[in-house]
Structure 1
Amino acid sequence: MTVTNPDNTVTMTLEVISADEETEGQYSCQEQGNDIVIGNLIVEIPPQLMLKKDGATLNESIDVVFTEEVQIQCVAAEGKPSVSLSWQVNGEEKTAGVSTDMSREDERIISSMINYIPNKDDETLSCITSGQEVIPSQQATVSINVMYAPSCSILVTNETSNQFRVICTCDANPAVSGYKILVNNSLYQEAEQVFLPSTDPAIVSCSASNEIGTGTSEEKNLEPFHVDQPPSTTRVALIVAIPAVFIVLVIVIVLYIVYKKARRAEKSKEDTNKSVQAAMNMLPPAEGDQSDYEVMKPIVRA
């Protein structure tokens, strides 16, 4: 507070520590002989801000379903002076579906309700205060987990020269719990991908499910195709491999024939040696060996 007179200026300072509602009011000061100077002390109190759904306080995140309306309440309590409330989704102001209840303003409680329809790309929902001069805006924010049923499409590739690879690709939150692939409007297999012959025409589609629901892809026609010759790399491999296999086969046959001939010659030689030995054993001993022959005779007694 400043007291001014024609002769001089006097400054008087009153320091209020830990100001609260009890210290709020008018303060005056006076220098002797001068007029009284009055100042107003206004105390601002930040509100207690919270978000609620179905009466329960929300903490860090909330699960919502895509395109299904959800009602969220923002409550600002014990703020002074009273504040105004606004909403933001992904940092952008949201005014559609917002209503404010000030019926309990005398109790310093103000609430705002938003009827919110989530989009897939929504990430945050915030309630923001305004209207206090000294205290900056307060903000209560929750992360949004937008859940939705699978959105599916069919992907077809020519995996080999005689096969289609059919894949069911889906965008879903939470993750897909089961896939089905249909061929000609009949269940073919409960799988994310299958292989089909490329020689037969077919109509394929797929579906996938999670806890939110089931999504089905559009149908896709598979036109048969025939490959007259293998791809160039395969042709080169065959051109190199076939003569090599033939040469190896010829070498094996020649080696086998040589081996058989060698075995026959060896066996014939063994048989000849055995025949010669048998013939020699049947011949009488030579003259030089007669004594030995006689000694070998048996003794006959009268």
Structure 2
Amino acid sequence: MNGLQKVVALTVLLVFPFVSVAVFVGPIDTPVLQGGTATLRCSNSDFSGGVRQWREEGKTTFADQNGIFVGDTFTKYQDFQISAPSATQIDLIIPSAKVADEGTYECEMTPDKGSAVFTVEIQGSTPIITVDGDSSGSPIILTEDVETTLRCTATGYRPAVNLEWYMNNVKITTGVSEDSPIGSGDTFETSGTLTMTPTKDDNEGSLECRTTGQQVVPDQIGSLSLNVQFKPRVKVTYEFTTSTILCSADANPVTSIQYVIFLNDTAQTPGQSLPFNNAEYGCTRVKCDVTNSVGTGTDTRSEELCPEPSTTTEMPTTGATTMSPTTTSKPTTTMKGEIAPQVNAAVIAVAVIIPIVVLVVIILIVICFKQRKFCFAPSKTGSGGTILKKQPSASNADMIRNQPEVRQSVHKYDDEPKKPRIPRSSTGNSKKQPGNDAAPRQSGGSPVEGNRGSPVEGNRGYPAENPDGRNQDGGGQGGVNYADLEFQNRQGDPNGHGQIHYPEEEPTQYASILV
């Protein structure tokens, strides 16, 4: 029964489970591990009589429901067995399978027959991975960036197997090739190669060679770890807390590795660390070379190392005594371009405070200009150095009149200033009245004694009035009168504003006040 017939028969059984249908079930291809037992099944539920037998393809029948035939012709099958538990079944049993038992066997049950291939599998040795014929074991030594060809050999397999390569359980599809199998007796040998250029990342990786193509025998795996050697990866750093240059490296192998630190291209004593506290070098280029059996790796610091700056403060000297310069606390600036956190904090504080102060000053200036007070003292001089005169306001007339050091004179207000008049007496005389303060001031001194305090009674309320209410006519004119006040600044004495003005700084000043 071929495959199609089997499918049809199975479908009928599923669709019509309660209908009895004649079904022939012939043998199927059967592999077996050498030395194992295999059973080739054959049955026909509709068999009612006829032929029930086994034969090998191209050869004569060697068994029926009664068993294996005997004779020299049937020597190959003498170990075979027939199982016929019922009239509808006849099975062939092959115990202790060997390669000689392989073949295509056919079962016939009238009117149907079917055939199957019987094979014997042999498990070979574990595949071996070698490099240039070296199979010294795992790990296998490779060199970074050097192309390498690895070979895998699987021997003693039946049937011949195929080979596949894996790196860390990931199948490799590039750089793979396979030779034709070579037979040796009942088994075959298969070889294949993998060409790869290992990298540092492949170090300590797991490389596998797997066999494929057998059904009974599981895939066999040959594996090893990789020892990929590479020149040092170098890193040079500076440890600020200990003022030490440090050199580190990632390398394989690490045996016989050598570290050399260079200052301004001058090699120092070999070692991984070097104190850097000698100011004689100034700003210094720092480089580190590390060498192993593969090669030399190097690293140069991106910035030069500079001595730690220091500031000194000279103490003042007194007489012959000389004080030693005292070193002030140095900012913790260690290397060029690298400032300690506290210095950074100070710079940040200054950068914040200064703009705030400037902003406050600007606000105060704006307020002063708007209020027009308390901002700027008036200038004493104008352009060209001319001394400006202070002009008292009319609202302060009473205050000015009552100040000491003031001499009053009254005249008729008109376009041109006139000399002060002396008020006439009630009799019309121009004669100076006793106590009259209109006397001229003395040069360089104070007004006459009679001028201190308030004017005499006869001069108050100028122009003077007669008892009958008329103005005095002793030359005086009616109308509005003003008092010219002359400030006499005396050296060393405060004027009416409470400030000292010297004669050469501020001359006599005048103000006209309505009285």
Q: Offset at 1:120?
A: 1.4
Which deviates more from structure 2 when the two are superposed, residues 176-185 or residues 33-42?
Answer: 33-42
Matches within 5 A, 1:126-145: 126-145=208-227
Q: Which residue of 1 aligns with 2:239?
A: 157
8 Å CA contact retained: 1:170, 1:208: yes
Within 5 Å, give how 1:1-302 maps onto structure 2. Answer: 1-7=41-47, 10-28=88-106, 38-48=115-125, 49-102=127-180, 104-107=181-184, 108-122=188-202, 123-160=205-242, 164-175=243-254, 177-197=257-277, 199=279, 200-220=282-302, 221-226=304-309, 229=329
| 2:239 aligned partner, one-letter code | T
- The whole-number CA distance in structure 1 between the counterparts of 2:267 and 2:307 is 20
Q: How much has 1:185 moved relative to structure 2?
A: 0.2
CA deviation map 1:149-173 (0-9, x unaligned): 111111112135xxx3100010001
Cα distance in structure 2, aligned partners of 1:40 and 1:82:
17
Partner of 1:279: none
Question: Percent of counterpart pairs with the same letter?
Answer: 28
Amino acid of the structure 2 residue aligned with 1:148? F
| Contact residue 3 and residue 37 of structure 1 kept, 8 A | no
Q: Which has the higher helix share?
A: 1
Structure 1 residue identity aligned to 2:207: L
Is the partner of 1:181 in helix, strand or coil?
strand
Shift of 1:231: 9.0
53 and 201 in structure 1: CA distance in 2 versus 1, 3 angstrom threshold: same
The Cα shift of 1:222 comes to 0.8
CA distance in 2, matches of 1:59, 1:14: 46
Structure 1 runs not aligned, ≥5 long: 233-302
Q: Deviations 1:78-103 (Å, cap 9, x if unpaired)?
A: 3222222121112111122222211x
Structure 1 counterpart SS, 2:100: helix
Match of 1:246 in 2: none
- In structure 2, what is the Cα distance between the partners aligned to 1:223 and 1:151? 26
Partners of 1:114 and 1:7 in 2: CA distance: 58
Question: Structure 1 residues 18, 226: closer, same or farther in 2, change over 3 A?
Answer: farther
- For structure 2, the residue ranges without an aligned partner over 5 or more in a row are 1-40, 49-86, 311-327, 333-515
When the two chains are superposed, the root-mean-square deviation of aligned CA atoms in Å is 2.6
Give the AA of the match of 2:191: S
Distance 2:106 2:260 in 1: 82
Instruction: Tell whether the 8 Å contact from 1:47 to 1:76 is kept in structure 2 after alignment.
Output: yes
CA contact (8 A) 2:142 2:229 kept: yes
Cα distance between partner residues in 1 of 2:99 and 2:128: 23
Which of 1 and 2 has higher RCO (CA within 8 Å, sep 6+)? 1
Q: Is the 8 A contact 2:129 2:135 kept in 1?
A: yes
In 2: Cα distance, 1:89 partner to 1:39 partner: 39
Please state whether the residue corresponding to 1:211 is helix, strand or coil: coil
**Greater Cα radius of gyration, structure 1 or 2:** 2
Q: Is the 8 A contact 1:66 1:148 kept in 2?
A: yes
CA distance in 2, matches of 1:16, 1:57: 40
Residue aligned with 2:157, SS: coil
Whichever structure has more strand as a proportion of its residues is: 1
Structure 1 length normalisation: TM-score? 0.67
Alignment-derived partner of residue 300 in structure 1: none
2:508 corresponds in structure 1 to: none
Which residue identity lines up with residue 43 of structure 1 in the other structure? V
- Aligned residues between the structures: 227
C-alpha distance in 2, partners of 1:55/1:22?
35
Q: 1:39 to 1:93 in 2, by over 3 A?
A: closer
